[in-house]
Structure formats: C-alpha cells, structure tokens
Amino acid sequence: MASTTASPARWYTVVPTALGQLTLVRDADALLGLYYPHHWYKPNPATFGPRSHEGFSGVIGQLCEYFTGRRQTFDLALALVGSTFQCRVWNLVAQVPYGATVTYGALAATLGGDVTAQQVGAAVGRNPLCILVPCHRVVGADGKLTGYAGGVGRKRHLLDLEQACRPASVPTQEALLLDLWSMPGSAVS
C-alpha cells in the first residue's frame, strides 16, 4: 500500500538579523508573517506549523539586500490576513515609498468616513508582515515615533536606514497623500 504525506499548511523559519531573530511564516503560496522577538500581537507560535527552511530563500535574500541599503521595494508573494478594514489600511501602508513617512491621521483621512487616527494605529499595530508592509513608515501627527510592533528602537533603526539610503526623489507627504487619495477605495475615488 502506498503512503502519502501531506505537506504542512504552513511552516516557519527563524532568521538572525541586526534587529534580532525574525520569524518568517509562509504557506505554499505566500508569506503570511514576519515577526520580531516580543512582537506585539504575535500569533501563537503553535499555529506556525513545523520549522523548515524550504521556500524562504527569496525573502531572506531580499531582506539582506534591504538591510544593506541595496533594496527599496520587495518583490514577494504576500498574503495579508485580517479584517476588511485592516487590509485596507495595510494596502495603503504598502504604498508609502522607501524613505518617506505618513501620519496615522493622513491615512485616516485618505480612508474617509469616520475613520480615526487611533483606528488606523490599531490596524497598523496588527500588521503581520512588518518591514515587508512598511508600517515603520507611519508616524504620529508631529512626526513623532509612536508605537511599533517590534519596538520603537527598531522603528528608528529602519527609518534611519532608509534615510541614509533613500533616493533623491522621495515624495513629500503632501504629494504622497495626493497619490493615496487617487487610489481605488480611497475616500475620493
């Protein structure tokens, strides 16, 4: 009798970086999570499946390039799993360019309706794909670094890296907001 072994639905690996051990979680189709040690809202590790290095070489390579200033965007299959509102916020965050920042309030205004900066902040804080969906680029109204799932020190590190390596033509926050407002699903489109 032949026996077949099903592939796990998801699996994970742990990668050492200057920001600590990053836990990467994926399934057969896409990356599902990137978590720091002591990450806010980190799912129960038992849900990550078995540990395996299979399928992570692309993301590891791109993260290495990012951390050394040689990559500004990621070309990876990502699966954002959350509420409809969270996914709307995360999709806006994904549009914030390398080296730029945007405020929670500006994202709330882009979403329209009665959305508050605090609601946006709650969604940003639950981003399961930190760095890859660059929630570190979202700041307080006065540019102050507010909470970050990996800690404000890591947020500062990522912003400093991007400032040191950013291209000469990073859009102003005003130009960025005009771009975000013109996106499908925004308050004015």
Query: pLDDT of 91-110, one tens digit each?
Result: 999 999 999 999 999 999 99
Other Cβ atoms within 10 Å of 34 Cβ, number: 24
In a domain, 6, yes or no: no
Q: Per DSSP, what are the bridge partners of residue 178?
A: none
Residues 100 and 32 placed together within one structural domain of the fold: no
Sequence-distant (6+) residues with CB within 8 A of 128 are: 32, 33, 34, 35, 43, 80, 81, 82
In a domain, 88, yes or no: yes
pLDDT at residue 149, as a whole number: 83
Range of the domain at 103: 84-181
As annotated, the active-site residues are 135
- Distance, in Å, from the CA atom of 84 to the CA atom of 105, rounded to the nearest integer, reads 19
Q: What does the block give as tokens for 149?
A: 């799932």
Q: Which residue has the tokens 């709650």?
A: 122
Q: The domain that contains 138 carries what CATH number? A: 1.10.10.10
- Residues in the chain predicted with pLDDT less than 70, given as ranges, are 1-8, 167-189
Total residues belonging to the chain: 189
In a domain, 147, yes or no: yes
pLDDT single digits (tens) 22-48: 999 999 999 999 999 988 889 989 999
Q: State how many domains the chain has.
A: 2
Q: What is the pTM of this model?
A: 0.84
pLDDT at residue 127, as a whole number: 96
pLDDT at residue 26, as a whole number: 97
pLDDT at residue 148, as a whole number: 85
The SS3 assignment for 54 reads: coil
For the chain, the C-alpha Rg in angstroms (whole number) is: 17
In a domain, 78, yes or no: no
Residues 96 and 143 placed together within one structural domain of the fold: yes
Nearest to 79, CA basis, from 124, 116, 28, 36: 28
